[in-house]
């Protein structure tokens, strides 16, 4: 794709009443609707009206998130939408490749080619929920994930694209010669196959990855087609963008085969002053004691006796090497403390807005300026849009920011193609088994 035709890719990260931890306390917030499908449907239809590439549901196996299971939710959404991509997080550490391959193939068929898989290894330990003694070590989780994805792709390829015949004259439903065992045996998995459902319409659902550690970046360069990442500055985003894109060649991939979407978490209003009022109100609603407790646990030091207004230092804080969870997010917090000399209050406020993603408070035009700056200066292929308040934050983004981006020639004015791969400019992968046969 030429630079003149290069356009933004936008994903909406769905998250209850909003990505600000105190959004549920706003007067017009409706936390009681977090499990209300029709409420969620309206939000997703707003994203589709705005021509966004996709929506994304994060997931995990610990905590009290009180949210619907993503395959159930996205399958229901697929029946009530036409164009927008549907991306779900599914971790590799506490799942099996056959289950995941089958579920995503089903979602891709139901949605007619709009599914995407956000591949995570599990930042938080769920060992106690799955009969394990402890959470696997970070680098081992990525070794496991590498093999997990390979098995899953082979299972999708176990049916050739034309294996289904439905030939009434011959009495054949399938061409059995085009449905293959995979007989995979590796360090972590032993899977015979074949899968029990035909190859997905997209070949593979779009493969998304969200880790930004060293292991995560290498895994992304090898496997991912979209990266969700967190950066606090354009300089940091540029370094990450160049780093990951430069790794693609070793895996025989081009720059266009991987889209990098940093998170951007806006508070938008008609004037800066109005947006700042919303920001101040949200901060007042933060449970400060709980925020300090969580931060103390993450950083490995008791912050409860610290003044909220005193600048933090790195002294005594847990290093990233000591973390067995989300290493990149931990390092981002350390960088904030070091580079911006934030007070405890400022850090709580920054993390409360979007857990370390880039936050923005201002007008739609100002946000469009920021998006254009990052996009045209080698920091992003688009953005993972994370409104701090739902649904109003997405409403104003679609109603005001999207038209401004369209006026600047940066974003589509109509959906192109039929699948999520089409929207992202990604090729449909060849069936590896058919290809291998052709080479024999």
pLDDT at 43 over 50: yes
pLDDT at 175 over 70: yes
Average pLDDT on 183-205 reads 97
pLDDT at 439 over 70: no
pLDDT at 3 over 50: no
Q: Which residues are annotated as a binding site for FMN?
A: 59, 89, 138, 142, 212-213
What's 405's domain CATH number? 3.20.20.30
Task: Give domain status of residue 103, yes or no.
Answer: yes
Domain range for 361 is: 9-271+356-434
Residues 6+ apart with CB under 8 A from 356: 230, 232, 329, 332, 333, 336, 350
Closest CA to 115 of 146, 167, 152: 152
Measured from the Cβ of residue 258, the count of other Cβ atoms closer than 10 Å reads 23
pLDDT in tens, 238-256: 999 999 999 999 999 999 9
pLDDT in tens, 304-331: 878 888 888 887 788 887 777 666 778 8
Give the span between the Cα atoms of 155 and 149, in whole angstroms: 10
Task: Give domain status of residue 1, yes or no.
Answer: no
Can you give the pTM of this predicted structure? 0.90
- Region of 214 (left: φ > 0; alpha: ψ -120 to 50; beta: rest) is alpha
pLDDT at 2 over 50: no
Give the span between the Cα atoms of 108 and 114, in whole angstroms: 6
Q: Indicate the number of domains in the chain.
A: 1
Tell me what pLDDT residue 210 has. Answer: 87
pLDDT in tens, 401-419: 999 999 999 999 999 999 9
Q: Can you tell me which residue has the tokens 């953005």? A: 383
Tell me what pLDDT residue 100 has. Answer: 97
Average pLDDT on 350-379 reads 92
Tell me what pLDDT residue 85 has. Answer: 98
Average pLDDT on 221-240 reads 95
Q: If pLDDT is split at 50, 70 and 90, which confidence band does 437 have?
A: low
Give the span between the Cα atoms of 64 and 242, in whole angstroms: 37
**Percent of the residues in the chain that have a pLDDT greater than 70, as a whole number:** 95
Tell me what pLDDT residue 402 has. Answer: 98
Q: Which residues are annotated as a binding site?
A: 59, 89, 138, 142, 212-213
Tell me what pLDDT residue 336 has. Answer: 78
Task: Give domain status of residue 341, yes or no.
Answer: no
pLDDT in tens, 57-84: 998 887 767 889 999 999 999 999 999 9
Tell me what pLDDT residue 290 has. Answer: 86
Task: Give domain status of residue 37, yes or no.
Answer: yes
**Whole-number average pLDDT of the chain:** 91
| Per-residue tokens: 73 | 């939710």
């Amino acid at each position: 794709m030429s630079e003149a035709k290069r356009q933004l890719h936008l994903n909406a990260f769905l998250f209850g009443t909003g990505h600000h931890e105190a959004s549920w306390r706003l007067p017009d917030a409706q936390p009681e609707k977090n499990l209300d499908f029709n409420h969620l449907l309206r939000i997703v239809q707003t994203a589709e009206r705005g021509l966004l590439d996709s929506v994304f549901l994060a997931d995990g196996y610990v905590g009290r998130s009180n949210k619907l299971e993503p395959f159930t939710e996205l399958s229901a959404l697929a029946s009530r939408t036409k164009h927008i991509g549907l991306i779900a997080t599914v971790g590799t550490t506490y799942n099996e490749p056959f289950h995941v391959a089958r579920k995503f193939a089903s979602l891709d068929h139901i949605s007619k080619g709009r599914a995407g898989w956000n591949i995570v290894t599990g930042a938080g330990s769920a060992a106690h929920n799955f009969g394990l003694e402890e959470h696997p070590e970070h680098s081992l989780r990525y070794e496991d994930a590498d093999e997990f994805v390979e098995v899953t792709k082979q299972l999708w390829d176990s049916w050739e694209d034309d294996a289904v015949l439905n030939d009434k004259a011959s009495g054949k439903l399938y061409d059995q010669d085009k449905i293959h065992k995979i007989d995979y045996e590796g360090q972590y998995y032993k899977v015979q196959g074949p899968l029990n459902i035909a190859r997905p319409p997209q070949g593979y659902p779009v493969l998304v990855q969200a880790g930004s550690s060293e292991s995560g970046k290498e895994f992304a360069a090898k496997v991912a087609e979209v990266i969700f990442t967190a950066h606090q500055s354009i300089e940091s985003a540029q370094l990450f963008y160049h780093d990951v894109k430069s790794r693609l060649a070793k895996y025989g991939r081009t720059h266009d085969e991987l889209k990098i979407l940093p998170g951007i978490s806006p508070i938008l209003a008609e004037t800066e002053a109005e947006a700042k009022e919303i920001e101040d109100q949200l901060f007042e609603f933060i449970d400060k004691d709980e925020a300090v407790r969580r931060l103390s646990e993450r950083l490995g030091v008791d912050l409860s006796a610290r003044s909220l207004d005193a600048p933090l230092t790195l002294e005594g804080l847990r290093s990233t090497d000591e973390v067995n969870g989300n290493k990149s997010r931990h390092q981002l917090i350390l960088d904030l403390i070091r580079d911006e000399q934030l007070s405890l209050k400022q850090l709580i406020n920054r993390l409360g807005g979007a857990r370390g993603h880039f936050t923005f408070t201002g007008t739609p035009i100002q946000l469009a300026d920021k998006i254009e700056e990052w996009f045209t200066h080698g920091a992003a292929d688009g953005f993972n849009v994370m409104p701090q308040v739902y649904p109003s934050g997405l409403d104003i983004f679609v109603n005001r920011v999207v038209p401004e981006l369209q006026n600047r020639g940066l974003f589509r004015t109509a959906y192109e193609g039929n699948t999520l791969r089409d929207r992202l400019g990604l090729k449909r992968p060849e069936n590896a088994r058919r290809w291998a046969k052709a080479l024999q």
